[in-house]
Amino acid sequence: MPVLESEFMSDVQREAEAARRQSQPPVAPKKSGIEILRRAGTEDLCRIARQLAALLHAGMPLVPALSALVEQLECPADANAGTLSLRKKPLAEAIKEVRDDVNEGISLAEAMGTHPGVFSPLFVSMVSAGESSGALEEVLARVADILEKRVQLVSKVKAAITYPTVMALVATGVVVFLISYVVPGITRLFTEMKQELPWPTRLLISISSFTQAYIAVLIGLLCAGVVGIAALWKSREGQTWVDRTVLKLPLFGPLLLRLELARLTRTLGALMKSGLPVIAAMEITQRVIQNSTIADAMQAIRESVHKGDNIAGAMKTTGMFPPVVCHLIATGQMSGNIEDGLIGIAEMYDTEVEASVRTLTALLEPVILLAMGGIVTFIVLAILLPIFEINQAL
């Protein structure tokens, strides 16, 4: 009887809390100037969630735990610099306002929701689910795990692609420098001799002359292209076209698709595991997805599920998701454990992304080296061939 009575009282308290929240007017978002200039990154949110979960696990009440977070963030980044770093200042100010709002009776999720530039919709929604279920500490630890996985995966992809990208940029800079400044001084000697030159030398002279004459135009076209791509990306139609085209690229398209599928399934599984209804979890997941084509597919899935279809069937209808994903989700639905199935799919794609990145890096490095070697070999041959012919004539 005492157990049933305590459960009944907790249900009554939850209903009263829900009624209290509905009776309160919505809290307007707060955006300070610093918040607009610099938004919180995934690593910052991961650290905040992990530290707040640890403080709550230690038995500290919520408001003192938030005060401890503010104190931690306000520690100087450098022991010799007595000022708060620019990186931590907007976070400290936002959490200080969140603490004050919670102290006045607003829920943690509602207080965080007033700072959309700091706390993502995923973060706020999972905190709300944790408060509703009474498992805020557990949910915060789960949020930290999700964000940590995302940071690790993106870091691995960036680290693997950085080296080939730097190689390509350096190779391009070396070739442009040779053609623009080194080659003209050498080939001028050949043109002054008024001797018929081999075709590689003539081609090199033409490329060098063109580069020298139109280098300003080429730089202007490059800048205009960058501005045009940025403007195209900002428009809804342009972003949709870019996202659709990126997914069709060889090598890179499947890699980006796996990245988005890992983010989608992990987010959806974590939200559903935290107690959110499937429709609400899909709506939040749709906002987390960065590719608009996959986000549109997610919206179509949400609408189909809202009409009564199952998730696996709705995913299969879009044609965007691989068959293995649909089958795994269908199996999870049949067993009643779809949340763990979604997280298992995310783990599977994490492994595939890491393997794909290693393969892509292994392919790009020799290709860049061969291209660089071929261009340098062509330049050297174009310079040496006339010298050989002069020596033979003498």
DSSP string, 352-370: HHHHHHHHHHHHHHHHHHH
Domain boundaries, the chain: 2-119, 149-394
pTM, two decimals, is 0.68
C-alpha of 125 from chain center:
19
The pLDDT tens digits for 101-147 are 988 888 888 888 888 878 888 888 888 888 887 788 888 888 888 88
Q: What is the CATH number of domain 149-394?
A: 1.20.81.30
List the Cα angle 74/75/79 in 5-degree steps: 145
Beta-carbon count within 10 A of 233 CB: 12
Least confident of 8-12, 28-32, 283-287, 319-323: 8-12
Q: Other C-beta atoms within 10 Å of 224: how many?
A: 10
Nearest to 259 by CA among 164, 341, 325, 356: 356
Provide the angle, in degrees to the nearest 10, between the axes of the packed helices 278-288 and 252-273: 140
Q: Which two tokens stand for residue 1?
A: 């009887």
Please check whether the two domains, 2-119 and 149-394, share a CATH topology. yes
First vs last Cα of the chain: how many Å apart? 113
C-beta separation of 298 from 287 below 8 A: no
211 neighbors 218 (Cβ within 8 angstroms):
yes
Q: What is the per-residue pLDDT across 51-72, written as a single tens digit (0 to 9) for each?
A: 988 988 888 888 999 889 888 8
The model's pLDDT over 269-296, given as tens digits with 9 standing for 90+, comes to 888 887 788 888 888 888 888 888 888 8
Length of the chain in terms of residues written: 394
Please name the CATH architecture into which domain 2-119 falls: Up-down Bundle (1.20)
Residue 263's pLDDT is 85
147: left (phi over 0), alpha (psi -120 to 50) or beta: alpha
